[in-house]
Chain A
Amino acid sequence: MPGLISPAERDYILKGIECNIRADGRQRADYREVTLETGVISQTSGSARVRIAGGTDVLVSVKAEIGPVQVDPETGDGADKGQIVCSVECAPSASQQFEGRGADDLNNELTQMMTRFLSNSTSNPSVSSTASAGAGGINLSKLCIIPGQQCWILFVDALVLDYGGNLVDAVFMGARAAIYDTRIPKTEVQDLGDGQFEFEVLDDAEDTEFVEGRENMPICVTLNKIGARHIVDASPLEELCTEARLVVAVNRSGELCGQQKGHDGGIEPSLLLEMIQFGKTTGQTLIKQLDARLQEEADADLAKRQRGEPVHKLGFFAQ
């Protein structure tokens, strides 16, 4: 459906939010039901599919590949660090708006947002310095294999398969779940002398390790300011009524890892503080529940594996 809304609908939604009864019966702070599964794509190092009841469907994959380290020519930083490369793409089948070049801007915005929130070593030093927690949470030094030469590069790719509002939150939930699911093979480095190194990737499926710092990854809470109030998990029609949007990235300990404002409306300073505070507490609860769900699934899979049963993922045949 093209992004159109009638004045009467807008008014109805606005007044509904004012009296805390949204058009689908939720309250301002309520999320829709989220369906989550990890490990859906076997070719990846880690993957997850996140669906929000009512439409939004995001598939996130993480692929670990070996590549050269990237050293910042000015600061000399990054010689002992791995990398995270993010990309978000909206499939044209997700919404009529995404056809042709329609999704380009959104893809760019989401990709940049993800790059900024997930990787510590951004080219923009002000970002990592403002976020006290070390924004991305992931320990990039652990991803380095031979300092100054080789490292792991994590390619985090999100594909938006269907659009039903609140893309940002879904993409970041998916990213967290996919990284949580990721296993990187262990490597053995040999010192050949003269500063020469050689390494070997162990291809034993059991000899893998999780991404260190995965539990510190932030997720996003998108707050949509409509009228004088703000709501979470907006539906597509609610997004059309949004005057200003604030994306708050929060980690497990409730620390602010980044924020981004969208749309052309303004937010009063007092409301802004309230929204950030609200985003922090909401994000923390969200992470807790997400982690509980991920842990539950990981435990169930492990139990099955120990019993020698095959682990079947439902993937695309699930409801």
Chain B
Amino acid sequence: MSISFHSPAVRTTNDGVVRRRAVGHDMDLDDGLEGAAESAMKDPTLHVVTPGELITSDTAFMRGHGTYIEQEKVLSSVAGVVDRVNKLISVRPLHTRYTGEIGDVVVGRITEVAQKRWKVDLNARLDGILMLSSVNLPGGVQRRKQESDELQMRTFFMEGDLVVAEVQNFFADGAYSIHTRSLKYGKLRNGSFISVSPGLVQRSKSHFHSLSCGVDVILGLNGYIWVSAHVSQDLEEIDTEQVYSNKNKEDITPADRESIARIANCIRALAQNFVFINATIISFAYEASLQYPLKDMHKKEVMRDIAVEATTAVDNMRG
């Protein structure tokens, strides 16, 4: 058995992890900006606000997302970082739910089976909706939907099942309609689930990755990530019936499990240190993690070291 007790540490801004944030513009909001000086942040480009905090009393500015106006002053409605584009002031929240775009790859969990549709938890403000007509049914892609399909919807997806899907459309109320009409989408098996902040998953060309250590990673843009044992893609394409199976493959070896756990812990380490997550940095983090025993990887210090090493490696690669 192992356990370790620690006293808390102060969160420092210069702890070596290079934070890749999207705030590029300098925050020269002149004298209209109050409170910036008080914020003890060492980084002058960063203006952190809490809900209700005054951002500016200058009436020339327009209010954007995450702000509201009271007595002609712009105040923050969330805790986050002030972002300014010309005269528009918005606040990017530190903690947020997923706001998607059409075509995003997302990982979700079925929460409800309803009339001709499944409700899916996507870490968004509303549950996503997966219509029966937006899935591939067994027995041919072009098959017509029948009433019998409606009755046996639970044999396809059940409450609790994890799916990977693509955002297809928005409903009028802002809920996402998702689809699994491709063989790369569908039910998830053979691995474990991690949830990170949706803002940390970087949008990239592909969100399905097969890493060199024999682990597949699906980086859902909604912050839900699936790490699983590698399954060769061709095999899946042959067997369309298998898309809805709940059975894990039989030959997941302990070594596979260790790699999966290691990759999962690397992703947690990156997320905990606010580093953007993509396939490249995960690989570097994995390399960096190999010097630590697997069971030490939940330690805060180890996690930070891994994140620091991975970010430095990425920086070196880019020159």
Contact = CB atoms under 8 A, between A and B. Distances in A.
Interface stretch (B68-76, B140-148, B235-243, B251-259): B251-259
Contact of A9 (B111, B158, B193): B193
Contact of B6 (A6, A23, A26, A33): A33
Interface string B243-272: 000111000101001101110110010000
Interface string B98-123: 00000000000111000000000100
Contacts of A205: none
Contacts of A36: 5-7
A44 B212 CA distance: 54
A87 interface: no
Interface in B1-49: 1-11
B190 interface: yes
A37 B8 CA distance: 7
Interface residues of B, number: 47
A297 interface: yes
Contacts, number: 145
A167 B164 CA distance: 31
B263 to A, nearest CB: 10
Interface in B263-319: 264-265, 268, 294-295, 297-300
Contacts of A293: 5-7
B160 interface: yes
Contacts of B257: 16, 19, 21
Contacts of B121: 1-2, 4
Interface string B169-203: 00000000000000000011111110100000000
Contact of A6 (B8, B10, B160): B160
A5 interface: yes
Interface in A61-110: none
A34 B258 contact: no
| Most B Cβ at <10 Å: residue of A2, A9, A36 | A9
B299 A33 contact: yes
B53 interface: no
B3 A31 contact: yes
Nearest to A32: B298
Interface string A199-232: 0000000000000000000000000000000001
B149 interface: no
B10 A34 contact: no
A2 B160 CA distance: 9
B58 interface: no
A273 interface: no
A155 B254 CA distance: 48
A12 interface: yes
Contacts of B162: 6, 8-9
A4 B111 contact: yes
B252 A317 contact: no
A4 B7 CA distance: 33
Nearest to A29: B1
A43 interface: no
A34 B7 contact: no
Interface residues of A, number: 48
Contacts of B261: 21-25
Contacts of A13: 192
Interface stretch (A127-135, A246-254, A284-292): A284-292
B159 interface: yes
Nearest to B294: A25
Given A9-B193, A21-B254, A25-B298, A34 B6 contact: yes
A186 interface: no
B7 A35 contact: yes
Contacts of B4: 31, 33-34, 289
Contacts of A30: 1-3, 295
A5 B7 CA distance: 33
Given A4-B109, A318-B11, A53 B160 contact: no
A25 B192 contact: no
A290 B193 contact: no
Contacts of A286: 3
A299 interface: no
A314 interface: yes
Contacts of A54: 268, 298
A22 B298 CA distance: 12
A259 interface: no
Interface string A270-295: 00000000000010011001101100
| Most B Cβ at <10 Å: residue of A13, A24, A317 | A24
B298 A35 contact: no
Given A6-B246, A31-B1, A26 B109 contact: no
A42 interface: no
A244 interface: no
A131 B254 CA distance: 42
Interface of A: 1-2, 4-9, 11-13, 15-16, 19, 21-27, 29-37, 51, 53-54, 232, 237, 282, 285-286, 289-290, 292-293, 296-297, 314, 317-319
17 contacts: A6-B187, A6-B246, A7-B158, A8-B248, A11-B247, A12-B190, A23-B260, A24-B264, A27-B295, A35-B7, A36-B6, A286-B3, A289-B3, A292-B5, A314-B9, A317-B11, A319-B8
Which 9 pairs of residues, A with B, have the shortest CB-CB distance?
Answer: A318-B8, A25-B261, A31-B3, A4-B160, A293-B5, A29-B1, A25-B294, A7-B246, A23-B192
